[in-house]
């Protein structure tokens, strides 16, 4: 198959726009989309320091690599943060991968562990529990990333969420009927104490991210988290993949539709005022933040 733009051999077919792309045109298109996402949300400004959450998996590897390229001629500082949740047999390899990519690009890497920050590994936290491990992990990861991004003086926190993740999150909140949460998903203004989060890869489908890593020689053998199949997200992911293959463009329209809806709802929905946690001073809704609430529970159980 020939590239739609040149005589080169196509390495990917994008069914939705209906294009065949060679390696060069694929990489160019990929980085252009990331650049457009950055520009349209005015996500990055000159002189800013961007903390990039790097797990060592393919998403964050592609994120760090593409940002490093796209921002090369701009006065923007990149710094990488890795959270070691403490998942036996999984995390050690991904931390190695995170070190390798940060080292290759000459970007400073800071590693923070659940054990040091909270006193427990994720494995210990969820041992013998009925609650999905992803609930614990998600709460503590978010808490840890925000705290450490502030500690490093970052203006923004970039995460590797891709189009698939975004479509899944929108769909999960629809399924749960959680309107509040759905609206919080796209905050309109900065909240005190919260480092604004940006998702530069949110327009890029997951399978293109793997390919981008591969053609740039930064492919990391990314094993799936051993807890991944225990969540609602796994079922939603399968459903969305089935729909996408039957009706190309479904993921994109799911996210677009949601964006139109939040734009309309602006004004009729008041953004929540955040307080600060009496334990850790991180922003929260109630007196205790979710992380401190879970920690209290853990202490009582031990
Ligand atoms: Zn081409
Ligand atoms: Zn707290």
- Smallest-distance ligand from the CA of 20: 1
**pLDDT recorded at residue 38:** 94
- For 194, the token pair is 């919260």
Query: How close is the Cα of 19 to the center of ligand 1, in Å?
Result: 10
- In whole angstroms, what is the distance from residue 112 CA to residue 148 CA? 8
Query: How close is the Cα of 58 to the center of ligand 2, in Å?
Result: 31
In the block, residue with structure tokens 């199949």 = 229
- Smallest-distance ligand from the CA of 118: 2
Residues, beta carbon < 5 Å, ion ligand 1: 3, 5-6, 8, 22, 25
Interior angle at CA 227, CA 221 and CA 229, nearest 5: 90
**pLDDT recorded at residue 251:** 96
Query: How close is the Cα of 25 to the center of ligand 1, in Å?
Result: 5
**pLDDT recorded at residue 281:** 92
Q: What is the pLDDT along the chain (302 residues), one digit of tens a residue?
A: 999 999 999 999 998 888 999 999 999 999 999 999 999 878 899 999 999 999 889 999 999 999 999 999 999 999 999 999 988 887 888 899 999 999 999 999 999 999 999 998 888 888 887 777 888 888 999 999 999 999 999 999 999 999 999 999 999 988 888 777 777 666 666 778 899 999 999 999 999 999 999 999 987 666 677 777 667 888 999 999 999 999 999 999 999 998 888 888 766 666 677 889 999 999 988 889 999 999 998 888 76
**Which value, to the nearest 10 degrees, does the dihedral of the CA atoms of residues 29, 31, 34, 39 take?**
-100
Query: How close is the Cα of 185 to the center of ligand 2, in Å?
Result: 21
- Smallest-distance ligand from the CA of 21: 1
- Smallest-distance ligand from the CA of 23: 1
Partners of 53 in beta bridges: 81
- In whole angstroms, what is the distance from residue 302 CA to residue 294 CA? 12
**pLDDT recorded at residue 288:** 92
Determine contact, residues 50/78, Cβ cutoff 8 Å. Answer: yes
Strand pairing category for 275-276 and 283-284:
antiparallel
**pLDDT recorded at residue 233:** 85
* Residues 126-179: tens digit of each pLDDT: 888 777 788 888 899 999 999 999 999 999 999 999 999 999 999 998 888 877
In the block, residue with structure tokens 């329209």 = 253
195 Cβ contact partners less than 8 Å away, ≥ 6 residues apart: 51, 146, 149, 150, 154, 155, 156, 157
Query: How close is the Cα of 206 to the center of ligand 1, in Å?
Result: 21
Q: How many C-beta atoms lie closer than 10 Å to residue 102's C-beta?
A: 25
**pLDDT recorded at residue 222:** 66
Residues, beta carbon < 5 Å, ion ligand 2: 277, 279-280, 282, 289, 292
- In whole angstroms, what is the distance from residue 290 CA to residue 15 CA? 41
Strand pairing category for 77-84 and 49-53:
parallel
Query: How close is the Cα of 301 to the center of ligand 2, in Å?
Result: 18
pTM of the shown model: 0.90
Strand pairing category for 12-14 and 19-21:
antiparallel
In the chain, beta strands by DSSP E: 12-14, 19-21, 49-53, 77-84, 109-113, 156-158, 197-198, 275-276, 283-284
| 3-class state of residue 269 by DSSP | strand
Determine contact, residues 87/225, Cβ cutoff 8 Å. Answer: yes
Query: How close is the Cα of 281 to the center of ligand 2, in Å?
Result: 6
In the block, residue with structure tokens 């090369």 = 72
- In whole angstroms, what is the distance from residue 42 CA to residue 285 CA? 27
**pLDDT recorded at residue 188:** 60
Q: Name the nearest CA neighbour of 30 among 62, 56, 72, 57.
A: 62
**pLDDT recorded at residue 17:** 81
131 Cβ contact partners less than 8 Å away, ≥ 6 residues apart: none
């Amino acid at each position: 198959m020939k590239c739609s733009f040149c005589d080169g051999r196509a390495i990917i077919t994008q069914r939705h726009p209906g294009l065949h792309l060679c390696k060069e045109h694929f990489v160019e298109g990929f980085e252009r989309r990331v650049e457009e996402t950055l520009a349209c949300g005015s996500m990055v400004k000159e002189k800013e320091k961007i903390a990039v959450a790097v797990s060592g998996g393919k998403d964050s590897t592609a994120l760090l690599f593409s940002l490093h390229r796209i921002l090369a001629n701009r006065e923007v500082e990149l710094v990488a943060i890795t959270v070691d949740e403490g998942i036996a047999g999984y995390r050690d390899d991904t931390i190695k991968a995170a070190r390798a990519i940060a080292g290759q690009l000459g970007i400073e890497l800071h590693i923070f562990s659940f054990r040091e920050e909270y006193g427990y590994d994720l494995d210990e936290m969820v041992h013998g529990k009925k609650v999905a491990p992803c609930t614990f992990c998600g709460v503590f990861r978010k808490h840890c990333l925000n705290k450490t991004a502030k500690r490093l003086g970052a203006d923004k926190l970039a995460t590797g969420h891709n189009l698939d993740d975004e479509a899944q999150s929108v769909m999960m909140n629809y399924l749960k009927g959680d309107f509040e949460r759905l609206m919080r998903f796209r905050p309109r203004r900065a909240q005190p104490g919260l480092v604004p989060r940006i998702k530069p890869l949110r327009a890029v489908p997951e399978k293109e991210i793997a390919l981008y890593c591969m053609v740039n020689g930064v492919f990391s053998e990314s094993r799936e988290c051993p807890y991944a199949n225990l969540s609602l997200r796994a079922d939603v992911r399968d459903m969305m993949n089935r729909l996408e293959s039957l009706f190309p463009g479904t993921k994109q329209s799911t996210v677009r539709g949601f964006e139109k809806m939040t734009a309309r709802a602006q004004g009729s929905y008041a953004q929540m005022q955040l307080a600060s946690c009496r334990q850790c001073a991180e922003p929260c809704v109630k007196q205790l933040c979710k992380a401190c609430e879970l920690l209290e529970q853990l202490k009582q159980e031990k």
